[in-house]
Amino acid sequence: MNTSSDPTGGTRTLRVHIVDVVHQKEGGTTLVVQPHSEADIASEEIWRVALPGDFRGATRVDRLWHLYYGEDPGYTAGTWIDIAVP
């Protein structure tokens, strides 16, 4: 597992797989993502503080998260990203 913790109580890094990128007809983009470890992300608030850009909200569906953006954040399906969370 590529999750690390800062012993000083700072941030930790989570590895996330982008499963799909869906451009909505009415505008905006939905990223369908799967965290490397399910236990790492328990609520939408973690996404809100960790993700840059025009993040609007998140919904969990089984093991996947649907992340909603007002504008395309520039990610592509199939990639892995590391995000820093407090």
For residue 23, being part of any structural domain is answered with: yes
**pTM attached to this predicted model:** 0.79
3-state secondary structure of 48: helix
Contact 78, 18 (CB under 8 A): yes
- Tens of pLDDT along the chain (86 residues) come to 444 444 456 778 888 999 999 999 989 999 999 988 766 677 888 888 778 788 999 999 988 999 999 998 889 999 998 888 77
Contact 28, 68 (CB under 8 A): yes
Q: Which two tokens stand for residue 31?
A: 């990223």
User: Number of folded domains in the chain?
Assistant: 1
**Residue 41: which domain range?**
14-73
For residue 27, being part of any structural domain is answered with: yes
For residue 79, being part of any structural domain is answered with: no
For residue 68, being part of any structural domain is answered with: yes
For residue 50, being part of any structural domain is answered with: yes
How high is the pLDDT of residue 3? 45
Give the number of other CB atoms < 10 A from CB of residue 30.
17
For residue 81, being part of any structural domain is answered with: no
For residue 38, being part of any structural domain is answered with: yes
State the Cα–Cα distance between residues 21 and 44, nearest whole angstrom.
Answer: 18
For residue 4, being part of any structural domain is answered with: no
